Amino acid sequence: MASLDIEHIGKRFGTVEVLKDIHIGIGHGDFLVLVGPSGCGKSTLLNIIAGLDTSTSGAIKIDGKAVNHLEPKERDIAMVFQSYALYPSMTVGENIGFSLEMAGMPKEERRKRIAGVADLLKIGHLLDRRPSQLSGGQRQRVAMGRALVREPKIFLFDEPLSNLDAKLRVEMRTEIKKLHARLGATIVYVTHDQIEAMTMATRIAVMKDGILQQFGTPADIYDRPANSFVATFMGSPAMNLLDGEIVARGNSTALRLDGVQGDAAILPIPATADPSALTPGQKVTLGLRPEWIAEPGTGRARDVQSLPFTIDVLEPTGPDIFLALRLGTVEIMGRLPADAQVREGETRILDVDYGKAVLFDRQTGTAIYAAPALSRAA
């Protein structure tokens, strides 16, 4: 395992800038997930780390040493691809041990290394089979085994689960996380799936249009999103965004929601926000996650705002119920336990855990936080 520093990496294809000053650092044994929509530059960044592509600017450092000038085989990195990339004419054992054979490792030592990895991945009984005889999940384990057997400093995963069905994705996600816990390996993992990012990572880098939007722990990203893009991209259902305006209220300020009438239209400034950064007339957006909405008396929140919601649609999912709600003319998603006593078509008071609410500047999308400031990448 090793530390990895991605120092101000930029990448251009002609006049098109696909990576813009990406700066991230992780320590020994970290599990970094690069997440973002298609085309955000995450796979390009992974290829630059691997040495399969070159950066226009910046440096990649492993254990403090720049590796930009090194060929992929000299970086002591192993990569697991989305397509598995197994040799169809070779057995599972031959696929796993191919890199060791090319490196000139003696046959007996190679056999022990292959057997150890196969036992770790629970594919020892498959060593004599060909890839065509394997399921998708088994092929992915073989691809992982081929990377593990080299015992590299860093493992790179490029959307390795995207070809699997939903059930297998969950199973393999768990297996990769177990593997990380056993090996203490340093991993960089690319995905567009925010559930994979939240469940697997020790550190997450959220990207959009080649720009690093936020870098932090899963809790940082989820509870204190740096901007409205991160807030809506991370989480399912997405965070609700309600437009409003800062208004004067006596000697202080308050939030007036657009599209809402009566007392429910005026809310206090959320505790997470910095009132000194707000001025009357400023256009803002209030962020509320669906699970912060609860039936009265059922939540544990200390700072509660009770508001009248109209329930348009109920969507049972098994353990939860998703609710399509309206506050005035504003549409909101809620998430309640499966046994919640709610009915479609009714208007009723629901509690909002307002102590977690986030305020964003509507023009820039940037979150307006009170001290201490959010820790993010430089």
pLDDT tens, position by position, 322-361: 999 999 999 999 999 999 999 999 999 999 999 999 999 9
- Tell me which of 127-131, 142-146, 300-304, 345-349 is least confident: 300-304
Q: For residue 376, what pLDDT is reported?
A: 44
Question: Which pTM value belongs to this model?
Answer: 0.90
pLDDT in tens, 61-104: 999 999 999 999 899 999 998 888 899 999 999 999 999 998 89
Give start-end residues of each CATH 3.40.50.300 domain in the chain: 4-228
What one-letter code names the amino acid at 322? F
- Tell me which of 137-141, 211-215, 323-327 is least confident: 137-141
Calculate the average pLDDT of the chain: 93
**Sign of CA pseudo-dihedral 71, 73, 76, 82:** positive
Instruction: Answer whether residue 144 shows pLDDT above 80.
Output: yes
Instruction: Answer whether residue 260 shows pLDDT above 80.
Output: yes
Give start-end residues of each CATH 2.40.50.140 domain in the chain: 240-361
Q: Which helix (H) or strand (E) holds 351?
A: strand 347-353
Burial 140-162 (b: 16+ CB within 10 A, else e): bbbbbbbbbbbebbbbbbbbbbe
Instruction: Answer whether residue 378 shows pLDDT above 60.
Output: no
Instruction: Answer whether residue 302 shows pLDDT above 60.
Output: yes
Average pLDDT over residues 310-330: 96
Instruction: Answer whether residue 371 shows pLDDT above 80.
Output: no
Instruction: Answer whether residue 374 shows pLDDT above 70.
Output: no
Helices (H), 201-308: 218-223, 228-233
Q: Are 321 and 314 in contact (CB under 8 A)?
A: yes
Q: Are 142 and 98 in contact (CB under 8 A)?
A: no
Instruction: Answer whether residue 304 shows pLDDT above 60.
Output: yes
Per-residue pLDDT band for 197 (boundaries 50, 70, 90) equals very high
Instruction: Answer whether residue 228 shows pLDDT above 80.
Output: yes
Instruction: Answer whether residue 6 shows pLDDT above 60.
Output: yes
Q: Are 318 and 338 in contact (CB under 8 A)?
A: yes
Q: For residue 82, what pLDDT is reported?
A: 81
Average pLDDT over residues 274-303: 93
- Nearest Cα to Cα of residue 220 among 196, 197, 192: 197
Q: For residue 372, what pLDDT is reported?
A: 63
Per-residue pLDDT band for 52 (boundaries 50, 70, 90) equals very high
Q: What percent of the chain clears pLDDT 70, i.e. is strictly above it?
A: 98
Per-residue pLDDT band for 311 (boundaries 50, 70, 90) equals very high
Average pLDDT over residues 110-136: 93
Q: For residue 84, what pLDDT is reported?
A: 81
As its CATH architecture, domain 240-361 has Beta Barrel (2.40)
Distance CA 320, CA 339 (A): 8
pLDDT in tens, 18-36: 999 999 999 999 999 999 9
Q: Are 92 and 127 in contact (CB under 8 A)?
A: yes
CATH 3.40.50.300 fits 4-228, yes or no: yes
Q: For residue 165, what pLDDT is reported?
A: 85
